[in-house]
Amino acid sequence: MDSPPRTFLLLSLSLLPLLPLPTPASPKNISFDFRSFSLDNLTLLGDSYLRNGAIGLNRHTGNPSSSSSGTAVFNLPIQFSDPRTNTSASFSTSFSFKIANPSPESHGDGLTFFISPDSQTLGRVGPYLGLFDESSAIKNGSAIAVEFDTVLDEDFGDPTDNHVGLDISSPRSLEAVDLWPLGIDLSSGNPITAWIDYHGDEQQLKVWVGYSSAKPERPVLSTRFSLSNHFTEYMYVGFSASAVTSAEVHQIESWSFQTFGLPSLNLSSRTPHNASDTLWSVIPVRPVPKLGKSSHKKLSLGLGIIGPAALCFVLVLFVYVSLKKRMEIKTDEESFKPEFTSGPRQFQYKELCLATRDFHCSRVIASGGFGTVYKAIHPVSGITYAVKRSKQSEESKNEFVAELSIIAGLKHKNLVQLQGWCTEKDEFLLVYEFMTNGSLDKVLYSGPNSGTCPALSWAQRFNIAAGLASVLMYLHQECEPQVIHRDIKTSNVLLDAEFNPKLGDFGLARLMERNKSPVSTLTAGTVGYLAPEYLQYGKATEKTDVFSYGVVVLEVCSGRRPVSRNGGQSTKDVNLVDWVWGLYSEDKLIEAADGRLNGAFDREEMLRLLLIGLSCANPNSVERPSMMRVLQILNSEAEPMTVPRKKPCLTFTSSTPMTTREIVSDCNESAISSQLYEVKID
């Protein structure tokens, strides 16, 4: 007797002529309508952010001497061309936006709706509108943009400081229209709606602009131009904006988009010409010998009984196999909530084994209490990744779930980007982009004679402090819900090829609803970076992250670890914050500068950064600045905070302090990562 799977196969083959035929992939039109936005659908680059369901394309600087730019790109590639039929898509889009400028004496540079072959499009500020660069082209091909420009730039042929234009691979518009005669002020701060239609068969682009949600009868711009010649098969759509020497802010509040006009394949007219097609053709019917009336009746009765029964059996077996497979998948993956992983891809365990040489010790680039990080080189694409392999424990599993669910939804230029994950064979693997220059602590403490990297220059150090402040402001004030990292330290700050900082390791991070008191939790982090009130009460807030940031800033300035041994014959540990504050009280703060810099630094910037470090590391949490204030001080947009000459005394107002027995050191950190211990509670 056949086993169930074999019976299922035979019955399936016998019923093949009755089943619907498979349909090959055909061109697909797409449409979406966002009344509000979330990070599930967008990639945010540069200074762009989400707030209250709207996209902010650039930062409100409040300083006429600063600049900002950003882009927001729809995550999925959209088909604009079908090479098989040599046809191109038409499209229609509408969006509501605001351009606000609190400084009427200055102007920003407007925004664009663009179509680009690259999902990582980010250009320069000023007349380049955050989309193009100096060569008047984006890095990976040509971009199509409709600009809503608020600056008159004669070098690019702008008609006025309030116009709409069509740009192809350049900020110089092919055609532009002045909006002043139409009574529309782009930078009025009022909601404005724009409609853009392109019909490929007519090769005509039309743009409407108005203050109401009703589409005006006449377009403000109508031009015949073949955008189809600039379409690639798949492209990305999004928005860009920039503001230089202005406080102008650009927001997108809603957006709808659709493509149409791509043909669908007609299978009925196709003639099979390959193996796949012949499988779709109808199986020929064998001739059946003539039967007598009685035999015919018996055969009909038999088929009438056996046919439905066999069909029911096939359906029951199919449902059983499907449910069993689904339950197995659910059992394997229910622990890490796959609904959070729509962005990053799921890697196969075997491809990560090949990429890491079966997790060979020669590929280890970091190790600690969390597990081990390996350098992985994909055997096919050659792309280099960093694979974080968590320890197989319940605690590591929880940290894996936290890191995957939190960082998968975050987008910022100073965050290490999560590329994917894998949970096969009871492993918990996270795949990140590879950072060429490793961690900040490795570079900062390598020294010129270590045979690795030279000491960081002052410009690089200042850029690291500013980048870290930017990403923490994003986590604390622009994410919903708010993200508390809880483990800010130099070993978790990674550096790319240009020494730009990227914050990583969100295994200890926590999500927190805004305007709610933090719940008590287990103390976790690293000695020397933990805020006093966090050790006392075990409550993580944004101010505990600010304290850790202050310690990192003092490290960057001084080149000293948070806790180090005193020189000479003394074996007493020296706390970095106490040491710097002592110099400040003696009016010798500049002596805290790293001697390896040999005086090659900006004295004013050094003092400003040291004072920022002390103000962030204030023992009293209420005296610490927000990360937004820190970023403003770094950008010279706000005055530095007043720092008391003597380190304030720490006072606790309530709760019961923890005993040292309640704080357990995790000394599994190796020299490859941090040489400090992680403090946790059993």
Query: pLDDT digit string (tens) for 290-313?
Result: 444 455 555 555 656 666 667 777
8 band by pLDDT with thresholds 50, 70 and 90: very low
Pairing of strands 493-495, 221-224: unpaired
Residues paired with 87 in a beta bridge: 82
The predicted pLDDT at position 21 comes to 39
Model pLDDT for residues 511-552, shown as the tens digit of each residue: 554 444 444 344 455 778 888 888 777 788 899 999 999 999
pLDDT for 287 equals: 41
Residue range(s) in the chain whose domain bears CATH number 2.60.120.200: 31-260
340-433 belongs to CATH 3.30.360.10 = no
Cα separation, 475 vs 409, in Å, equals: 11
Who wins on pLDDT, 508 or 375?
A: 375
- The per-residue pLDDT for 523 is 45
Percent with pLDDT over 70 in the chain:
69
Catalytic residue among 441, 487, 505, 594: 487
pLDDT at 329: 44
| pLDDT band, very low/low/confident/very high, at 645 (cuts 50, 70, 90) | very high
Give yes or no for a contact between 372 and 386, defined as CB atoms under 8 angstroms apart: no
Q: Looking at residue 518, what is its pLDDT?
A: 41
Query: Which of these ranges, 86-100, 443-457, 466-480, has the smallest mean pLDDT?
Result: 443-457
Overall average pLDDT of the 388-399 stretch: 71
- What CATH number belongs to 31-260? 2.60.120.200
Amino acid at 563: V
Which percentage of the chain shows pLDDT scores above 90?
33
The predicted pLDDT at position 170 comes to: 84
User: What mean pLDDT comes out for the span 500-520?
Assistant: 62
CATH architecture observed for domain 440-680: Orthogonal Bundle (1.10)
Tell me the pLDDT tens digit for each residue of 81-124: 988 888 899 999 999 999 887 665 566 788 999 999 888 777 77
Q: DSSP assignment of 381-438, as one string?
A: T--EEEEEEE-SSHHHHHHHHHHHHHHTT---TTBPPEEEEE-GGG--EEEEE--TT-
CB environment 511-543: b (16+ within 10 A), e (fewer): ebeeeeebeebebbbbbbbbbbbbbbbbbbbbb
Six-digit token string for 522: 């287990």
Q: What is the DSSP letter of 260?
A: E
CATH 3.30.200.20 range(s) for the chain read 340-433
DSSP secondary structure code for residue 590 in this structure: G
Residue intervals of the chain classified under CATH 1.10.510.10 are: 440-680
Lowest-confidence range among 340-344, 395-399, 598-602, 626-630?
340-344
Specify the amino acid at residue 616: C
**pTM of structure:** 0.50
487 catalytically annotated? yes
Quote the Cα angle for 160-161-163, to 5°.
70
